[in-house]
A and B are shown apart, each in its own frame.
Chain A
Amino acid sequence: MQLRLEPRALQSRAMRYASPLIAAALTLVMGFILFAALGKNPPAAFYAFFIAPINSVGGLAELFLKASPLVLIALGLAVGFRSNIWNIGAEGQLTLGAIAAGWVALDPAFADSPLLLAAMIVAGILGGMAWAAIPAFLRTRFNANEILVSLMLTYVAQLLVNWLVFGPWRDPQGFNTPQSALFADGALFPILIANTRLNASVLLTLAAVVVSWVFLEKSFLGYKTRVVGLSSAAARYAGFSEKRTVWVGMLAGGAAAGLAGVGEVAGPLGQLLPTISPGYGFTAIIVAFVGRLDPVGIVFAGLLMSLLYLGGDSAQISMGLPAAAAALFQGALLFFLLGADVLVNFRVRVIRAVPLDQPRAAL
């Protein structure tokens, strides 16, 4: 017997809705076995993972705080991914956005300016775009592979921020420890809900959801990028510029990642550190695909991913679950989600094998 995946002529509408449910069911089964094998009560573990982290206002605030940069970056990346522009370097673009915003925040000339935060936002977006412009330029001018260039630039960005916080931007009062001075209050996003860390950068993410939905679904430019992604030959025939698509795709990702970088340094961090991002730029790639490159889907995917992070810590605290087991469970859920999505575009066909050495007459 053999299983074969056959492409569907049309996406299966039923599977579009059923595949997340299939994934959820498989995850529950897998989680049940995993937790039971570790000697933990599976229902209590599911509770610790999915309910406990968000059954308070503070928990919900943490959920949105964590989801915000993931959603923001994934929205930007989706613009490129839809047109087959593979920007893998959002992590580096985020770092550059954080550096640019930090540069403004630490400059005494801007201190006490009411426009300080606005200037940081603009600087951060430009910083992220500038970092994304390098692979865009090399791709359009020399046809250099943007996957490699954008990925490698992530490490360059990391070294750059290291050099800054170990060197010229090191906090003079900080015992020579590698971090910048703390930003002034005017350089931080205002807190939206008292006694939580949820800050106004979440509103920028919400605005980005609307903007990207209009761009991707309603604008002519968004349509053109999609055509380039679906069929570059058809796009060329229609006179759509592929170069422009590359630029739009890369810069959208860079701008979003740069803004997310501002959200981190002007939000929960409040200063520049040797490492700015806990891998948001890479996780956002998963978020974009789990969200099927759709703005609304990305919001749900970002919230789910954020919940998984919070749930992993919560399960360690309340159940004594090992960190590795929490990570395994998180990975399984994502694996099943992306795996089940195959069913949207493919159908599974069972084929009975006929052994080659069997004489025909025996059939």
Chain B
Amino acid sequence: MRIVNRRDFLKASSSLGIAALGARALDAFAQDVLNVGVVHQYPIGEVGWETQHALGWKAMEAAFPGKVKVTVVADVQQAQDSERVFRELASQGNKLIFGTTFSHMAPMLKVARTAPNTHFDCCASVTTLKNMGAFEARNYEASYVAGVIAGRMTRSNTLGWVGAFPIPQTVWRMNGFMLGARSVNPKAVCNVVWINTWNDPAKEKDAVNALISQGADVLAGSPNTPVQGVAAEERGAWSIANCSDFSKFVPKKQLTGDIFDWRSAYIDSARDALAGTWKAQDRFRGLGEGGFCAMVPYNAAIPAEVVADAKQREKDIVSGKLKVFAGPLKDRDGKQRVAAGGSLSDKEIRSINWLVEGINGPFPKS
């Protein structure tokens, strides 16, 4: 992460004053190196949301050896603190600063307005400024493909979904999953249990057990931990990984998974910043080369024709032939949301707050 000579220098220096002066002097002549700051909301674990972002900035470091110096601040949980950390990173000479979650948006907007010469990029932000871009995954494309597999693999025609919070990102992913399942299995339904957390093993396990008791034999969900897969495997049910590949924890019954791949988000942004051509963009990318989401390798137990079907859908989505939210599309209350021949606009997708037909269970909304 840090350049080696500075660390060695600090090790060797014995007095506080010299250390402080030395650090400043080194920063002053390291102009050809792009200093990049990354803020994580939680500690970086083995799998999960923070891990996928860490894979992103590590790939950026590897792509520009010696040219990019990354400073990471992890476990900055609240908006009050992240604003201070963003400002500190900007004032310490980081010219490109990444936020990794939606709750970084509001504090980053405030800091970006006061640091016009620094580039900012925020994952899941819904606003951009002249010097602040946004990046977000169309992971409903990946969850659609996962849904195709789930719809073909279910014997009970009942899928289960462990809900975290009803925000657009989880709603579009859930809808994509259901649409994928229904596209191959019109009888499929999906039951939802909301647990109001991103990470709570006990609640996730209870939810999985409840869903299996209701007949579900393929489990998916929003909390980005392996717990749901592990709990499903214990009961002999299939599962879909979310965020990261959980096959290490769910060796047998993980069908596939729709995961984030932020490598190009970090690499493209750093490349532009190094070239001096950085511009704030609102990047909303799905499957495919340079995309922000990907499929976990398919389980060997899936029949070959199902795998072939899934791979064909992946191709069609990438080529634009297949649109996930294509009309005619009704919500589960019967209201027409997309007319035949049309499809949802990005703006509609990003503020989606309705569920497609086939998803059963409560839906907390305004």
Contacts and interface: CB of A to CB of B under 8 A. Distances in A.
A269 B78 CA distance: 10
B80 interface: yes
A271 interface: yes
Nearest to B196: A162
A323 B43 contact: yes
Interface in A293-331: 309-310, 313-314, 316-320, 322-324, 327
Contacts of B2: 319-320
A47 B19 contact: yes
Interface in B45-94: 71-81, 83-85, 87-89, 91-92
Contacts, number: 118
A43 B14 CA distance: 7
A162 B1 CA distance: 37
Given A166-B166, A197-B83, A320 B1 contact: yes
Interface in B324-364: 350-353, 364
Interface stretch (A1-9, A109-117, A142-150, A176-184): A176-184
Given A269-B79, A310-B84, A175 B351 contact: yes
Given A39-B11, A317-B71, A179 B85 contact: no
A263 B102 CA distance: 23
Chain A interface residue bracket vs B: 35 or more
Contacts of B106: 179, 269-271, 273
Interface residues of B, number: 51
B85 A313 contact: yes
B196 A316 contact: no
Contacts of A139: none
Contacts of B352: 176
A179 B19 CA distance: 43
B366 interface: yes
B80 A264 contact: yes
B102 to A, nearest CB: 7
B16 A44 contact: yes
B20 A62 contact: no
A52 B91 CA distance: 13
Contacts of B117: none
B365 A167 contact: yes
B210 interface: no
B88 to A, nearest CB: 6
Given A44-B13, A175-B351, A313 B76 contact: yes
Interface in A67-121: none
Contacts of A195: 114
A40 B79 contact: no
A278 interface: yes
Nearest to A309: B81
B84 A313 contact: yes
A44 to B, nearest CB: 4
B75 A278 contact: no
B165 interface: yes
Contacts of A313: 73, 76, 81, 84-85, 88
A41 B11 CA distance: 5
B302 interface: no
A166 B10 contact: no
B103 interface: yes
Contacts of B81: 278, 309, 313
11 contacts: A44-B16, A52-B20, A166-B166, A167-B365, A175-B350, A179-B106, A274-B165, A316-B71, A316-B72, A317-B85, A322-B74
Interface of A: 39-41, 43-44, 46-47, 51-52, 58, 62, 66, 159, 162-163, 166-168, 170, 174-179, 195, 197, 264, 268-271, 273-275, 277-278, 309-310, 313-314, 316-320, 322-324, 327
